Amino acid sequence: MERLDDIIRRGRPIQKGQLLFQQGQQVESVYAVRTGALKTYTIASNGEEQITGFHLASELIGLSGYAAGTYPLTAKALETTTVCEIPLPQLEQLADELPDLRRQLMTTMGTEIRHDQNMMLLLSKKNAEERVASFLLDISQRYQRRGFSATQFRLPMSRVDISNYLGLAVETISRVFTRFQKNGLIETQGKEVTLTDVDSLFDLAGLTRAKEECIHEE
C-alpha cells in the first residue's frame, strides 16, 4: 500500500456533470473513487446516451480501456466527486514487482466482467420489478463490501439515469418504487433509500441471499 500510495495523484474535486475521461480518449490512468459517484456511458449511433454502469466510493474506474488503449466509455460525475489517479505505466511496473497487487487487479477485472454478464442477463430475462429489485440489491451489496450500511444508503443517480441503465421508462421506475414502498419493501426520502424487507427483495429478484453472498466471496 505504501508503494502504491507513492504513485497515486490526488486531483481536485470533479463537479457534478464534469467528465473524468471521454470515450476514445487514450488510456493513461485508472482511477479510484474516493468520494462521490460517477456514471459511465457510451454514445449510440443515433446519438443517444446509453448508461453502462455506476461507480461508487472505493471502486476503480477506467480498467475497461486497458486492452484497447483507449477508453470505450465516457465517465461523468453524478455529484461532486474526488478520485485518486493511478498512472498506468507506474501501475504496470508496480504490478510486475508485487504479485499480490497484480492478483488484486485481475480479481477486479474479473469482477467487472462478471457484473457486466449479470447485467446482460438482467436486461434480457427479467421484468421491471425484478430489474429494480436486482439493482437495489446490487447497490446495497457494493456499499456493504466497503463497510457501509447495506440497508440505508443514498442513490446518487437520478431516476432518469436508473431508467436508462435498466432499459425501462422513467414512469415505470417511479411506479415500481411506489409499489415497493406500499408493499413495505423499501422506504425512500429523496435519494435516501432504506431496504425494509431484504428477503422479499431477494425473492423478487430471483436470488437467494446465501447464493449471492457466495458469488461475492469468490
pLDDT score, position 167: 92
Residue 140, C-alpha cell as written in the block: 446495497
What does the domain layout of the chain look like in residue ranges? Answer: 2-116, 127-217
* CA–CA separation, 126 and 115 (whole Å): 16
- Report the chain's terminal Cα–Cα distance, integer Å: 23
Report the chain's C-alpha Rg in angstroms: 18
Q: Which pLDDT band holds residue 68 (cuts at 50, 70, 90)?
A: confident
- The CATH code of the domain at 127-217 is 1.10.10.10
Prediction pTM value: 0.84
* CA–CA separation, 112 and 50 (whole Å): 18
Element (H, E) at 117: helix 99-125
* pLDDT exceeds cutoff 90 at 65: no
Element (H, E) at 131: helix 128-145
- The CATH code of the domain at 2-116 is 2.60.120.10
pLDDT score, position 128: 95
* CA–CA separation, 194 and 150 (whole Å): 9
Q: Once rounded to an integer, what is the mean pLDDT over residues 11-32?
A: 92
* pLDDT exceeds cutoff 70 at 62: yes
Q: Which pLDDT band holds residue 2 (cuts at 50, 70, 90)?
A: low
pLDDT score, position 116: 73
Q: Once rounded to an integer, what is the mean pLDDT over residues 160-185?
A: 96
Q: What is the pLDDT of residues 105-162, one digit of tens each?
A: 777 777 777 777 777 776 777 899 999 999 999 999 999 988 899 999 999 999 999 9
